[in-house]
Structure 1
């Protein structure tokens, strides 16, 4: 089987990546921190105007009619720049959920932020700047106006993740639907894709520094100790990336195999990202632990995403479920059709 992205998928990913790399530099991140702003309004407007928020929304509802696999490269690019804005969450989770449930998806396409509160995450991200919240209650989806909830800020390891505890009262008037569909699995895959981008950025920063930093008259990158560290981290990223892409492609199956794919992707990607971040710090030496070196932005986001949409323990349990529910082996473990009956 030949798997490759189409020209259209590659084109939209490249356009989004170019825009994000150009507009979201570490200097921009530092500027936002200094100003205390949650995100950059001009960049968010550009994201909206490019139509990125509607990638996973059907044509008939004003979107591009694509799916998670078409968003996966953009999610990786968002991770590569440690994007503060909730592009991935709005485009990959909120918009398709509202579109499926007949909710006000047009508000998301116009740039309004909807926060998601689900038991898979202990806190609700971006709730303070949201126009409304999608909240979980006994398996139901509730759409709640921002002024109908009370927020309590929770500090995050990542300064760009604005997390909150939400106090609210469910009612029949707020109830939107009975189930969340594949939102959790989508969250896992998209968090994994961001982790791939974060890990790649850490490796790229380590390589750039190893070329410039000289010791004993030579770039430190010429020493085998540095080469092996960076190569090991790069291999981890290269092995995790196709796992994430396969998980995104198989999400629509909705069976035990696709759920295990999503969990496996999250495990592989976050472990690779953490290794890459630790490697980048080590290559930078003692200064890698300082605020002045930009590596910490990406290290913090990678660690924060490790428990987003489920913990490593929960993901491992999902993978074990697949291994015990259907046949395994070279011809079966990665064949979703084998697990269809067990789905």
Structure 2
């Protein structure tokens, strides 16, 4: 398993390192590596892998701020597999695996839609999606219109909302599966990759930039800050991997670990990206440098699938109940 995931990581990193364009890149990743169908059963055209393998890919995408629609695909595939709708599976899953159909999911925390038909929230990959699966009142609907692009700080990825008033939709058979935990675990893996790469780039830069005749990385104050960032990233890795494993196993503690990973990884990626900007100095705010892009991605992903504060509120009763 370890060797297989290492090989998957190397393959994805190799293609991403080749500067795949946003257009067509997703299809190539799906056809050559099968990233779109990693968690799809083999009988449906996928690889039959687990969320653990998908997390490896999400980490790599997070490292390079890829706009590829993996973050939307993972919970969408989970929704289709859990819906019990054989027709929708047969119709959508093979095309998703081949990269021919981009799918995303959207839901409102209250499980309802506002009077004007707006499903509120920040949903990744919705603007690029051919099909959006929408959870409303515990049911799963398939829609392909009503998409609105949301203006956000993150210029590396399009986000969107849905306005569903008067929009035709097809209700899928069976109840909608729980998506929050798998979405949070997947996002935590992506945030981990973003934070880890931001730290790597910062460490490299402070060894190259000189002041007073020596690398600024030799200054003790920066060493302490980098050490703290390193500890944060390692803690985020532990939290993300624990959440991914628990969700993949369907463990009872999956909601708790997914919420903990969302909080830990959101706070980590924001802190590390902020240090990246600070230590790169004035160059970090120019369009020629990627530091501000990492900061933008960090702040936007922290708001996805619930803010860290909302997940802390969700964690509190769970922790109190386990203490009893």
- TM-score, normalised by the number of residues in structure 1: 0.83
2:219 to 223, 227, 236: 223
1:23 aligned counterpart, secondary structure? coil
Report what 1:140 is aligned to: 139
Q: Which one of 154, 159, 172 corresponds to residue 158 of structure 1?
A: 154
The alignment partner of 1:85 has SS state of coil
In 1, Cα distance between equivalents of 2:286 and 2:169 = 50
2:105 matches 1:116: yes
Structure 1 stretches of 4+ with a deviation exceeding 4 A read: 169-173, 252-256
Aligned residue pair count = 306
**For residues 188-222 of structure 1, what are the alpha-carbon distances to aligned partners after superposition, in whole Å with 9 as ceiling and x for unaligned?**
01111111111111111111111111111111111
Q: Give the corresponding residue for 2:63.
A: 80
C-alpha distance in 1, partners of 2:169/2:189?
36
Q: 1:299 deviation in Å?
A: 1.2
Q: Give 1:318's match in structure 2, choosing from 280, 296, 314.
A: 314
Q: Deviations over 1:125-163 (max 9, x none)?
A: 33333222111221211011x2xx333332011012323
Partners of 2:12 and 2:59 in 1: CA distance = 11
Partner of 2:8: 12
**CA distance in structure 1 between the partners assigned to 2:263 and 2:123 by the alignment:** 22
Report the Cα offset of residue 109 of structure 1: 1.2
Equivalent residues of 1:182, 1:254 under 8 A apart: no
In structure 1, how many angstroms separate the alpha carbons of the residues matched to 2:36 and 2:177? 19
Partner of 1:44: 26
Deviations 1:234-270 (A, max 9, x none): 1100111011101111114546521010000111111
What SS does the aligned partner of 1:306 have? Answer: helix
Query: Are residues 1:98 and 2:94 paired?
Result: no
Q: Is the 8 A contact 1:113 1:132 kept in 2?
A: yes
Give, in angstroms, the shift of residue 320 of structure 1. Answer: 1.3
CA contact (8 A) 2:138 2:175 kept: yes
- The answer as to whether partners of 2:46 and 2:94 remain within 8 angstroms in 1 is no
Q: Is residue 192–residue 233 contact of structure 2 (8 Å, CA) maintained in 1?
A: yes
Cα distance, 1:186 vs structure 2: 0.8
> Are residues 133 and 173 of structure 1, via their aligned partners in 2, closer, same or farther at CA, if it must alter by over 3 Å?
closer
SS at match of 1:142: strand
Mapped partners of 2:5, 2:96: distance in 1: 22
Equivalences for 1:30-41 in 2 at 5 Å? 39-41=22-24
Going from structure 1 to structure 2, the CA distance change for 1:152 and 1:55 (only over 3 Å counts) comes to closer
* Cα shift readout 1:153-182 (whole Å, capped 9, x = no counterpart): 320110123233322258996111443323
Give 2:235's aligned residue: 239
Segments of structure 1 that go 5 or more residues without pairing to the other structure are 29-38, 329-343
